[in-house]
Every structure is written in C-alpha cells, then in structure tokens.
Amino acid sequence: MATIAECLGIAWETSAKDEPDYRLTYHAQKQAAAKGWTSEDVLLAANSPLHTYPSGRVPGQVRHVRGDLVAIVDPADRRVVTVYQDVAETAVRRDQTDADAQRYSQRRTTRLGQTITEPVDEISY
C-alpha cells in the first residue's frame, strides 16, 4: 500500500547524486535578495532539499523545500527558476498580471465563502 506522501509525489529522502548542482537564474537571484536570502541559502535548498514534489503550476518543474525556503527547479536545465517562502500568503504584486494572479486577487474568500478584506499575515492549520 502506498503512503499518502507517495501518492502526492512527495519524496522525503534525498539521495547522493552524480548530477551537477543547480545554478541560479537571474530572476531567482533577484527574488532571493528581495526576500533576504543569500544565493547560498537558495542553492542549499535546491541541491539538498528536505523534501521535494512536482510543481502544480508548470509541468516538469519541481519544488525543492528546505525549512521555509522553496526553490522551484527545472531538472532538465539544472537551474533554479524562482524562490519564495513556503506557506506564506502575500498580496498580489502590480507586476503579477497573469490570469491566475488576477483571479486569486479577486476571489480571496474563506472556506465558508466570506470575502477576505484585509491581507493575511500568517496562515495556520
């Protein structure tokens, strides 16, 4: 019988690999600096994640998570595409003009259907 993690595609163990390390894209470097992380922090998450699972947004990309840092990696190109804080909800930025972001900004509701009028600083489960 498969575990829940296996069904969701989450790999909790990392193994030694012969592949080259990931490298940062310019976008990932800018995002890390804006969030107060060093390139070393991001590369540690990308190359030695505590757990990984497929990105739900872009086929082929993988989320590498270490602590509260998420490095979205492209395994085919061995590069870190972007980086962000895990389980943090932030307001939609002006440069986020894609349909997903706009839909999210217009439909922020609770599970009971109530509109969220103020920004959420923290998510608890």
Least reliable range by pLDDT among 23-32, 55-64, 67-76, 102-111: 102-111
For residue 23, is it within any domain? yes
Q: How far is the C-alpha of 22 from the C-alpha of 52, rounded, in Å?
A: 14
Domain residues for the domain of 36 are 4-85
Q: Burial level of 65, CB count in 10 A (0-12/13-18/19+)?
A: middle
pLDDT in tens, 40-73: 999 999 999 999 989 888 899 999 999 889 999 9
The tally of domains found in the chain comes to 1
Confidence of residue 29 (pLDDT cuts 50, 70, 90): very high
DSSP annotation string for 19-80: SPPPEE-HHHHHHHHHTT--HHHHHHHHHS-SEEEE-SSSTT-EEEEETTEEEEEETTTTEE
For residue 59, is it within any domain? yes
Higher confidence at residue 42 or residue 18?
42
For residue 116, is it within any domain? no
Higher confidence at residue 76 or residue 100?
76
Model pTM above 0.75: no
